[in-house]
Amino acid sequence: MPDKEKAVINALVPRAKLWLELKGDLILGRGGALLLRGIDEHGSISQAVKTLPQGELGEMQTPSYRFAWGYLQKIEKRLGIPVVEKRRGHRKGPGGTALTTFGKRLLMLYEEYEDRLKDIIETEES
């Protein structure tokens, strides 16, 4: 193999995108997983949205609360199972949003697959 070809081959780096599907419908990708992680950590969709890198949910800018809420509703509609639950605010405390038990399992599953994929790619890079 010529030196230039060998140098190019050695410089190539594997990358992959992961998403979960159900019957051909997109359920969860990296942006959605980051949104769920943010909700789990902050207890709020609006706070979770502020932590998302630009473009993660398919928008060119940081997504709005409305866009994120619509995204979550699509996931729930496709699965037929609630992923988040809203808590109404009242005198004794603020409202917010939390992951359901199923939402936590879904996020954990995505993160497990993501870790496995990273391990495979890192093994290939070595």
For residue 93, is it within any domain?
yes
CB distance 107 to 40 below 8 Å: yes
Is 89 a domain residue? yes
Question: What is the pLDDT confidence band of residue 61, given thresholds at 50, 70 and 90?
Answer: low
The answer to whether residue 37 is domain-embedded is yes
In this predicted model, which residue has the larger pLDDT, 14 or 103? 103
Is 16 a domain residue?
A: no
Q: Calculate what percentage of the chain has a pLDDT beyond 90.
A: 57
List the domain range (segments joined by +) for residue 76.
25-125
* 9 part of a folded domain: no
Mean pLDDT value of segment 61-86: 91
Q: How confident is the model at residue 63 (pLDDT cuts 50, 70, 90)?
A: confident
* CATH number reported for the structural domain that contains residue 90 in this entry: 1.10.10.10
Report the predicted TM-score, pTM, of the whole model to 2 decimal places: 0.83
- The answer to whether position 97 is within a domain reads yes
**Domain count along the chain:** 1
- 108 touches 83 (CB < 8 A): no
| Cα(126)–Cα(107) distance, integer angstroms | 29
Domain assignment of residue 62, yes or no: yes
Is the pLDDT at 60 greater than 70, yes or no? no
1: in domain: no
Sequence-ordered list of residues with C-beta below 8 angstroms from that of 39, at least 6 positions apart, any chain: 45, 48, 84, 97, 98, 99, 103
Is the pLDDT confidence value at 24 over 90? yes
d(CA 101, CA 74): 18
- Per-residue confidence (pLDDT) for residue 124, from 0 to 100: 67
